[in-house]
Amino acid sequence: MISDDFMVPEPVRVLRKQQELETTWTLELEPGGAGRRPFLPGQFNMLYMFGVGEVPISLSGDAGQTETLIHTVRAVGPVSNKLAALKPMDAVGLRGPFGVGWPMTAGEGADLLIVAGGLGLAPLRPAIYHVLRHRERYGRVILLYGTRSPEDILYAGQLEEWNKRPDVEVHITVDHAGGDWLGKIGVVPSLVPSLDFDPEDTVAMVCGPEVMMRFTVNALRDAGVEDESIYLSMERNMKCALGHCGHCQFGSTFVCKDGPVLSFDRLRGLLSLKEF
Amino acid sequence: MDNVDDGSVITRQGLQCLLDALAQRGYTVVGPTVRDQAIVYEELARIEALPAGWTDEQDGGLYRLKRRSDDALFGYAVGPHSWKRFLHPPKVSLWQATRNGDELRFVPARDEPPRYAFIGVRACELAAIGIQDRVLMGDEYADPHYRSRREQAFLVALNCSEAGGTCFCDSMNTGPDVKEGYDLVLTELLDGDNHLFLIRSGSEEGAEVLAELPREPATEAHQTAATAVVEKTRGQMGRSMPQTAIPALLMDNLEHPRWDEVADRCLSCSNCTMVCPTCFCTTVEDTSDLEGGTAERSRRWDSCFTSDFSYIHGGSVRNSTRSRYRQWMTHKLATWVDQFGTSGCVGCGRCITWCPVGIDITEEVHAIHDDVSSRDKE
């Protein structure tokens, strides 16, 4: 019998499920057995659907509550479609949490610029919960969020509540919208140049499609943010999440084990390289 | 007890005694043998199964067995197999899942692998095993399937007496002489009808096994002959890697036109990764029975040359052959060093020999190196 086998999932049940967007759902899962490590903002779990397969899904809930594990899933492939179709009391396989998360400690004392694109807000939400829970540890908190259309705004109610707080600045932009949209139109990196912030005292956390992250990094660097202070959550094919299967290798890192959150100085020169 | 560490010599019969002693200790003995016109690694009981009197001719995309003029048992270079297929097998069952109503259960695959004794592990292969040790059991996530095989393995190493046409271990500093990480090490000494093996132990268990064998103390003449064997082999290397800082060379030239040239020849067939003794990548396969009550997950070797390898929703990160070859070679020779503190290449030459179009990793590095050096001079 093999002990310490990190490839074997644990069965957990779905407790609640909520539709967020047309093809996006949030699942609340049982937290798993005793001994499972609490997660850190930015980490992910491997979720297994019986007979279909396993995919990495970021934790999108509050790491400060341990009753449930929250994942926001977009139905895009065979496994995520099955995950999205789960009902309360259905069982899934759980492995994790894996990876290195957001720089919640390194960011203390600094201003935080959180930049999310589309579903990229999900892996950043635990960081936001953490900041709000320990608000006094951080300077200004600015959240830039971009998505395709007003109908695609994830966690819209929460964004509104955060925006009402005097100690959080929220800027939302969409790629396209009808005439009833009174907000900004444009891609999220375009919000950076006009932003009034102190680049030298800012830690940036960025998550979204890779092309969005590339342009955001360029905008942040142009504004004067140091490469070491720009953190990205990378996405690559993953089979094991342990650094053994090789699929997520990216330059000198395994995205699963050294990431998914990586500071830009470790990705410099490679992120802009086609097909690397 | 005899002092066995200064070296002893054994005869062919003594070698049979070694196989017997290992089998007696419960080991599954694996060594080289001829199968399908190649020298491969299989279970052995008798030394008659060893490729006596055979050698191999190797070049880019070429492998042929040839008769030797003597009866050497180890007078060839490495073949298509490496010990990876025993320590990190091509397919491993990971677990079974059962579903009964809404109850889901996972049962880890019970894996009680044989205790392997490997006969004739060359210096490059010892280096490769050392590299896979770092990859697969170098941190908290040690792979239990690899570890259970590796920790029980008994390694009978071999100082090479013949370098192949695609060998370049000398320029990778991994051979041809065995330095560490073995239980016993052999050097084949052939002098007319006098066929002996210099043998030394490198571990406590190796010394115990050696003490059980009929043997003579090695003389200075034996030691001198063994040194000469290795030095002759060193002089026969068919290939060499440029002596330069290869990681920087490659990472500074990720857009070099040579990647396009090699992509025109590369078939993206993944042979190089399958024969490579350090390539460790795997994928997982999920199967379920027709009734939907039982599912199984297994792991099998995978290759960065496939399109699926880098697939994320929306498509593959690396669609072109150019990007896949660049990925493989820069990982093997450059970023591997950052990740594991060692090159991922041991200079065994398998990727050159077994490439259907004869792409030569040393030639590709030379091409970029020579081009960059000539431009630097201008």
Flag if B331 and A52 touch (Cβ within 8 Å): no
Examine the pLDDT at B1 and tell me if it is beyond 70: no
Of the residues B297, B300, B318, B320, the best mutation for testing chain A's interface (the one with the most A CB atoms within 10 Å of its CB) is B297
Examine the pLDDT at B148 and tell me if it is beyond 50: yes
In a domain, residue B106? The reply is no
Examine the pLDDT at A10 and tell me if it is beyond 90: yes
The domains found in chain A, sorted by start residue, are 10-98 (2.40.30.10), 111-266 (3.40.50.80)
Examine the pLDDT at B339 and tell me if it is beyond 50: yes
In a domain, residue B1? The reply is no
In a domain, residue B264? The reply is yes
List pLDDT tens digits, range A128-187. 999 999 999 999 999 999 999 999 999 999 999 999 999 999 999 999 999 999 999 999
Query: Do B171 and B273 have their domain in common?
Result: no
CA-CA distances (angstroms) from residue B228 to A37, B113, B195? 57, 39, 16
Q: Are A268 and A221 in contact (CB under 8 A)?
A: no
In a domain, residue B292? The reply is no
Domains of chain B: total: 2
Examine the pLDDT at B44 and tell me if it is beyond 80: yes
Q: Does B269 touch chain A (CB under 8 A)?
A: no
Mean pLDDT (chain A, rounded): 95
Q: What percent of chain B has pLDDT over 70?
A: 98
Which residues of A are known binding-site members?
Answer: 240, 245, 248, 256
List pLDDT tens digits, range B100-118. 988 999 999 877 899 999 9
Q: Which of B202, B234, B266 corresponds to the end of one domain?
A: B234
Query: Do B136 and B190 have their domain in common?
Result: yes
Query: Do B64 and B43 have their domain in common?
Result: yes
In a domain, residue B99? The reply is no
pLDDT band at A2 (very low <50, low <70, confident <90, very high): very low
Q: Domain of B121?
A: 8-90+111-234
pLDDT band at B305 (very low <50, low <70, confident <90, very high): very high
Query: Do B60 and B178 have their domain in common?
Result: yes
Query: Do B38 and B185 have their domain in common?
Result: yes
Query: Do B226 and B275 have their domain in common?
Result: no
Structure ipTM:
0.93
Query: Do B68 and B130 have their domain in common?
Result: yes
pLDDT confidence of residue B101: 85
Query: Do B212 and B272 have their domain in common?
Result: no
List pLDDT tens digits, range B54-69. 999 999 999 999 999 9
pLDDT confidence of residue B291: 85
Query: Do B260 and B178 have their domain in common?
Result: no
Q: Which helix (H) or strand (E) holds B98?
A: strand B91-100
Examine the pLDDT at B196 and tell me if it is beyond 80: yes
Q: Which long-range contacts (CB under 8 A, 24 or more apart) does B134-142 make?
A: B134/B340, B134/B341, B134/B342, B135/A244, B135/B278, B135/B280, B135/B340, B136/A244, B136/B88, B136/B280, B138/B340, B139/A243, B141/A6, B141/A242, B141/A243, B141/A244, B141/A257, B142/A4
| Chain A environment of B326 (Cβ under 8 Å) | 276
Query: Do B254 and B325 have their domain in common?
Result: yes
pLDDT confidence of residue B195: 96
In a domain, residue B362? The reply is yes
DSSP type of residue A151: G
pLDDT confidence of residue A96: 95
Examine the pLDDT at B2 and tell me if it is beyond 50: no
pLDDT confidence of residue A149: 97
Q: For residues B166 and B59, what is the distance between their CA atoms, to the nearest angstrom? A: 6
Sign of CA dihedral B356, B358, B362, B367: negative
In a domain, residue B101? The reply is no
Please give the model's pTM, rounded to 2 decimal places: 0.95
In a domain, residue B39? The reply is yes
Query: Do B229 and B251 have their domain in common?
Result: no
CA-CA distances (angstroms) from residue B362 to A88, B121, B238, B254, B278? 57, 23, 11, 17, 17
Q: Are B86 and B149 in contact (CB under 8 A)?
A: yes
Query: Do B257 and B324 have their domain in common?
Result: yes
Beta bridge mates, A91 = A13
DSSP type of residue B110: P
Q: Does B291 touch chain A (CB under 8 A)?
A: no
Residues 130-149 of B with CB under 8 A from A: 135-136, 139, 141-145, 148
CB-side neighbour CA atoms (13 Å) of A32: 19
